[in-house]
Amino acid sequence: MVFGSVADRFGRRAIFTLSLLWYTAASLAMGIQHSNVGVDLWRFIAGLGIGVELVTIDAYISELAPKRLRGRAFAINQSVQFLAIPFVAAVSWILVLGLLWGWMDGAGLFSWGPSAQSRSG
């Protein structure tokens, strides 16, 4: 509810872009953490960013898509969102088999060593 009024004030495109940058930065920070607390903190922060994005995209689509294509645009958006979950789970499973936790956190290029999960268990 808070970010709805923020999006109304600053524009949906700006808030959508900011939320994607927020999520990306938090994912990168999560990938270089060396403690469970650090990973949990940055995962929470990333969750806030993706939460804002998920709410904002629906309003943004309703503004951008022409009336005759709006239903199709929402269907594609929802399909991508829901199909991403099993896809990410499968990729994560493959990465876990290779013990590449830094990649799973989304920041493997910046992860210089094993992340907290690989050392904790």
pLDDT tens for the chain, residues 1 to 121: 666 677 778 888 888 889 889 988 998 898 788 888 998 899 899 989 888 888 888 888 888 889 999 999 999 988 988 888 888 788 777 767 766 555 555 544 343 344 444 444 4
Burial of 64-84, coded b for 16+ CB within 10 Å and e otherwise, reads ebeeeeeeeeeeebeeeeeee
> What pLDDT does residue 120 have?
44
Q: Alpha helix locations (H) across 32-114?
A: 36-64, 67-97, 101-104
Q: Both tokens of residue 5? A: 């009024």
> What pLDDT does residue 113 have?
40
pTM, two decimals, is 0.64
